[in-house]
Structure 1
Amino acid sequence: MHESSEQSVTPRYSQAIVQMAERLGIALPDHLSTRLDGLQRVPIHWQDELWQAFCQASHDPLIGLRLGLEIQVGHLDSLGMLLVTCDTLGEALEELVEYAPVISDGGAFHMRREAGLVLIDYRPRFEVRQAERAEAALGSLLNLTRWATGGRFQPAGIWLRHQPLDAPERYAALAGCAVHFAADHYQLGLSIEQLALPQIQANSALRDHLRQLADQMLAEVGRQSLCAEVEQLIRTHPRWGKERIAAQLQISGRHLHRRLAEDGLSFKTLRDSVLQTMACQMLESDQRLAQIAEQLGFSDENAFTRAFRRWQGVTPARYRERESVR
């Protein structure tokens, strides 16, 4: 399986967690920080481990919000600089909605208008420490928006889907605005008039350059995300072929082939990789070979045996014998 094909996060955001832990004297397992060295993206399950250790070791229910309120522009990769070089706050928020996957494709932002307010919804796609991470996302948006507008931004409030993790008064003191709980969405609210607020670091030439860089990074993340979606569909429906997988993704088989080819892959190699992993896992059970072959979508046991020998160099029966004595 391709480690880069799963959801991922920029290492700069992960480093913000490590740096805050060091500053506060929070002890994290060494491997959680050292394995970030030299990475272009951090796999989302590594980020899950980092957040779990960070929250547990901090003993502070609001450590996520505190992290968000201390996030700096550089922690958001090139997107951070893109956002602050936009002419107005409204333009910056539109760029955030489009380019948020540059920071992480484990969540998305959406902008809508309701009851005279502009609401920036944050929709996380992870389960581990979701409350703390959502608070961090909204806290960082609040902090950087205030900084980029020279302190002129005045939020209408923050809405959280969960119940308070600590005293509501502490939320208000940290955020400097109203905080609402048990809401329908994670969101930051502002008046429509504030979309026109000028930003103190506005620089149209630098913004245009950074947007090109963000487009390149977004395309790379998009290719990885497509790969992850294809792999997940194959795991869930191993009998499906390319055309049915493509239909589920709402693209044509030809378009799927072209998108995978851009990343040096083919549907066949991707499917073989997934089926090989699944087969090895299934062979650790006591299922009959015919059952495994049928579940993986092979016409019969012989077809499965031929494919497995091509993958592993041994028959399924021999592989099972070898693994059983380890």
Structure 2
Amino acid sequence: MNNKISFCRSGIFRVLLKAVERQYPGTLNKIDLPDVIFENPMRLIPLPEISRYFNKLAEKTEDKLFIVHCGPHISLHDCNHLNYLIASSNDLFTAIMRFNAVLSTFQSNSEAFMIRSGSINKWRYNDISFRDKDRLFDGIIAMWFFIQLLRTFHGKEYLPRRILLPGNQIGKDGEVENFIGCSIDWNQKETQVWFTYDELVKRKSYVQQQLFGSKLDHQEILSYIDMPLSNDFLRCIYEVINYSKDFGFPKLENVAKLINLSPQQLQRRLKKEHLSFTELVNHQLLCNQAPRLLSKYSISEVSRMLGYQSEQSFTKAFRRMHKLTPRQYINELIERW
């Protein structure tokens, strides 16, 4: 059994969803994805959920090639922090180096690097977390992100020289190639985007340099690098519980399903770590989330945000954990201020 758990940051997934909405207006209203997930672009979404939403988007758009057709609408500006870290670079080489460096902080197990072969630069990308069609879809998304990065320097009509994709051909013969505007090699080991060395040594104009987003503070930078290792089981479950709460109070069956385990398998894994599922839920909701939220929202709002059925049930659980009620906790905060 593969116990590794991988994540994608909500901010990156939001870039794709915005591109889908531009291509297929009204689509996002048809999928059950709470807005609260995107309030913090650093929120972690389990990759099996990303795969599930791939399928839902294909169904709701009624387009099996939606992942190709929405690509031109992908914009780095939809992820302000990513836009600043990468697209603010004065030259393309630096932008690519930054893009490659931060990619793994946005999606677990993803890796990207560039090699030179004669006069051709080959940008190479792979993520071992995905399989089959989902791996192809992930590769196409990465391809579009990189093409949009190239277009930041070379203009919106820029086309790469060649593309390699990890999966069976989708669409009719030549359909995807004609849409993107260059040749594609299918069934490859990884995603690659080829462009010439002359295209690499490209600097931005003064006007282009004014287009990047706002700077990051130190806390935001730390949140970028705080990506759980896939083999850190407890930390990963902790983050899956945090994601699950936005769909209701986290239940063993739901969390197990999100990571492709049975409830019994998850319980056995936690038992080996000398922890119960209930303990992890209480730590995430009552120790990690609740104190932070109570400084900003009312008790009833916090109870709802954490998935409790009522304010009374939240108050009871909070008091059992902290030996004081949420109201008493808030009063203590006020006294400290």
**Contact between 2:10 and 2:43, CA under 8 Å: does it hold in 1?**
yes
Counterpart selection for 2:225 from 219, 224, 229: 219
Q: Please show how residues 195-274 of structure 1 align to structure 2 within 5 Å.
A: 195-200=200-205, 203=209, 209=215, 215-221=221-227, 225-226=228-229, 228-231=230-233
Q: How many residues align?
A: 246
Q: Partner of 1:164 in structure 2?
A: 169
Is residue 126 of structure 1 aligned with residue 140 of structure 2?
Answer: no
* 1:20–1:218 CA distance, 2 compared to 1 (3 A): closer
Q: Distance in 1 between matches of 2:236 and 2:19?
A: 40
Q: Please show how residues 1-326 of structure 1 align to structure 2 within 5 Å.
A: 7-23=6-22, 24=24, 25-26=26-27, 29-34=30-35, 36-39=37-40, 40-44=42-46, 45-105=48-108, 107-124=110-127, 125-127=129-131, 129-151=134-156, 153-200=158-205, 203=209, 209=215, 215-221=221-227, 225-226=228-229, 228-231=230-233, 281=264
Deviations 1:191-220 (A, max 9, x none): 12211111246649x799559677433322
**Contact between 2:120 and 2:196, CA under 8 Å: does it hold in 1?**
yes
Q: Distance in 1 between matches of 2:150 and 2:140?
A: 15
* 1:152–1:47 CA distance, 2 compared to 1 (3 A): closer
Q: Distance in 1 between matches of 2:158 and 2:182?
A: 11
Q: Secondary structure at the match of 1:109?
A: strand
* 1:31–1:59 CA distance, 2 compared to 1 (3 A): closer
Q: Distance in 1 between matches of 2:28 and 2:67?
A: 16
* 1:217–1:37 CA distance, 2 compared to 1 (3 A): closer
- Deviation, structure 1 residue 135: 0.9
Which blocks of at least 5 consecutive residues in structure 2 are unaligned?
238-255, 281-337
Deviations 1:176-196 (A, max 9, x none): 222222223211011122111
- Deviation, structure 1 residue 55: 1.9
* 1:21–1:152 CA distance, 2 compared to 1 (3 A): closer
Q: Distance in 1 between matches of 2:191 and 2:231?
A: 25
Q: TM-score, normalised by structure 2?
A: 0.59
Structure 1 vs Structure 2 CA RMSD: 4.1
* 1:73–1:208 CA distance, 2 compared to 1 (3 A): closer
**Contact between 2:92 and 2:203, CA under 8 Å: does it hold in 1?**
yes
Deviations 1:219-245 (A, max 9, x none): 222xxx23x42227999xxxxxxxxxx
Q: Secondary structure at the match of 1:187?
A: strand
Which blocks of at least 5 consecutive residues in structure 1 are unaligned?
236-276, 285-291, 299-303, 313-326
